[in-house]
Structure 1
Amino acid sequence: MTAPCSPDTFAAPEQILAPEWLLLRDKPVQDQAILVRQGKISALGSVDELQRQAPAIPVTALPGRLIMPGFIDSHHHLTQAFGKALVFGEPSEIFRRVWVPMESSLDEDFLYLSSKLAALEALRGGFTTVCDAGTRSAAALGSIARATEEAGIRCVLGMVCNDKQGTTLLDKNSILARADQHISAWQGTGLVSPSLAIPIPEIATDAMLQAVSSLCRDAGIIFQTHANEHLVAVERSLEQRGQRPVEHLYQAGALGPQTLLAHATLLTPTELRMIQETDTAVSYNPVASAWKGNAVAQAELMHAFNIRLGLGTDGTRSDGFRLMDYAEAAQRFAFGMAVGDSSCGGGWPWLDHATRGGANVLGLGHRTGEIAVGLDADFLLIDLEVPEMVPSWDLSWELVRLANRDQIEGVFVAGKLRLWQGWPTDWDARALMRAVSAQAKAGVAKAPIQKIHSFTDQHRQQHNARNGQEIGHGGQHATAAAALNR
Structure 2
Amino acid sequence: MNNTAHAPKLSPPVPIDLLIEACWIIPIEPANVTLEDYALAIDQGNIIALLPQAEARTRFAPRETVLLPNHILMPGLVNLHTHAAMTLLRGLADDLPLMEWLKNHIWPAEAKHVSPQFVYDGTRLACAEMLQGGITCFNDMYFFPKAAAEAALHAGIRASIGLVTMEFSTAYATDADDYLDKGMTVRDQLRNETLLSFCLAPHAPYTVSDQSFARILTLSEQCHLPIHLHLHETAQEITDAEKQYGQRPLERLRQIGLLSPGLIAAHAVHLTCDEIDTLVAHGCSVAHCPSANLKLASGIAPVADMIAHGLNVGLGTDGAASNNRLDIFMEMRMAALLAKAQSGDAEAVGAHQALRMVTLAGAQALGLDARIGSLRPGKAADLCAIDTAKIPLTPCYDAASLAVYSAGREHVSDVWVAGIQRLKSGQRVENDEIELINSGRLWQNRVRLSK
TM-score by length of 2: 0.88
- Which residue of 293, 300, 304 maps to 2:297? 293
Matched-pair contact (CA < 8 Å) for 2:233–2:268: yes
Match of residue 110 from structure 2: 103
- Which residue of 30, 33, 42 maps to 1:36? 42
Matched-pair contact (CA < 8 Å) for 1:220–1:363: no
Structure 1 residue 205, shift from structure 2 partner: 2.3
Match of residue 346 from structure 1: 350
Structure 1 residue 179, shift from structure 2 partner: 4.0
Helix, strand or coil at the partner of 2:91: helix
Helix, strand or coil at the partner of 2:244: helix
CA pair 48-198 structure 1, distance change in 2 beyond 3 A? same
Structure 1 residue 439, shift from structure 2 partner: 2.8
- Which residue of 137, 140, 147 maps to 2:151? 147
- Which residue of 312, 337, 348 maps to 1:308? 312
Structure 1 residue 142, shift from structure 2 partner: 2.0
Helix, strand or coil at the partner of 1:208: helix
Match of residue 275 from structure 1: 279
Following the alignment from structure 1 to structure 2, what is the Cα–Cα distance between the partners of residues 162 and 379? 35
Match of residue 113 from structure 1: 121
Match of residue 412 from structure 1: 416
- Which residue of 320, 323, 336 maps to 2:331? 323
Matched-pair contact (CA < 8 Å) for 2:164–2:180: no
Amino acid in structure 2 at the alignment position of 1:353:
M
Matched-pair contact (CA < 8 Å) for 2:384–2:412: yes
Q: Deviations over 1:256-306 (max 9, x none)?
A: 111111000011233222211111111011011111132111111111111
Q: Deviations over 1:105-151 (max 9, x none)?
A: 3122211111111111111221111111223xxxx422211211112
Following the alignment from structure 1 to structure 2, what is the Cα–Cα distance between the partners of residues 319 and 164? 31
CA pair 52-214 structure 1, distance change in 2 beyond 3 A? farther
- Which residue of 21, 31, 39 maps to 2:24? 21
Structure 1 range deviating more: 94-103 or 295-304: 94-103
Helix, strand or coil at the partner of 2:98: coil
Match of residue 403 from structure 2: 399
Structure 2 spans left out of the alignment, 5+ residues:
1-14
Following the alignment from structure 1 to structure 2, what is the Cα–Cα distance between the partners of residues 219 and 444? 41
CA pair 54-251 structure 1, distance change in 2 beyond 3 A? same
Structure 1 residue 198, shift from structure 2 partner: 0.8
Following the alignment from structure 2 to structure 1, what is the Cα–Cα distance between the partners of residues 175 and 385? 49
Helix, strand or coil at the partner of 2:73: strand
Structure 1 residue 80, shift from structure 2 partner: 0.8
Structure 1 residue 170, shift from structure 2 partner: 7.0
Q: Deviations over 1:410-445 (max 9, x none)?
A: 111111111234432133122111122123221354
- Which residue of 45, 49, 52 maps to 2:51? 45
Structure 1 residue 161, shift from structure 2 partner: 2.4
TM-score by length of 1: 0.82
Structure 1 residue 180, shift from structure 2 partner: 3.2
Structure 1 residue 56, shift from structure 2 partner: 5.4
- 1:232-243 alignment, distance < 5 Å: 232-243=236-247
Match of residue 189 from structure 2: 185
Structure 1 residue 336, shift from structure 2 partner: 2.6
Following the alignment from structure 1 to structure 2, what is the Cα–Cα distance between the partners of residues 325 and 397? 10
CA pair 435-60 structure 1, distance change in 2 beyond 3 A? closer
CA pair 277-15 structure 1, distance change in 2 beyond 3 A? same
Structure 1 residue 379, shift from structure 2 partner: 0.7
Q: Does 1:66 find its partner at 2:69?
A: no
Matched-pair contact (CA < 8 Å) for 1:115–1:147: yes
CA pair 384-422 structure 1, distance change in 2 beyond 3 A? closer
Structure 1 residue 62, shift from structure 2 partner: 2.2
Q: Deviations over 1:69-121 (max 9, x none)?
A: 11110000112112111232011222223332223331222111111111111
Structure 1 residue 57, shift from structure 2 partner: 4.0
Match of residue 456 from structure 1: none
Structure 1 range deviating more: 156-165 or 370-379: 156-165
Amino acid in structure 2 at the alignment position of 1:120:
A
Amino acid in structure 1 at the alignment position of 2:136:
T
CA pair 266-53 structure 1, distance change in 2 beyond 3 A? same
Structure 1 spans left out of the alignment, 5+ residues:
1-11, 448-486
Q: How many residues align?
A: 426
Structure 1 range deviating more: 95-104 or 110-119: 95-104
Give the greater-gyration-radius structure (CA). Answer: 1
CA pair 322-258 structure 1, distance change in 2 beyond 3 A? same
- 1:244-259 alignment, distance < 5 Å: 244-259=248-263
CA-based RMSD: 2.3
Following the alignment from structure 2 to structure 1, what is the Cα–Cα distance between the partners of residues 121 and 16? 30
Following the alignment from structure 1 to structure 2, what is the Cα–Cα distance between the partners of residues 31 and 424? 26
- State the identity as a percent: 27
Following the alignment from structure 1 to structure 2, what is the Cα–Cα distance between the partners of residues 235 and 155? 34
Following the alignment from structure 2 to structure 1, what is the Cα–Cα distance between the partners of residues 334 and 93? 19
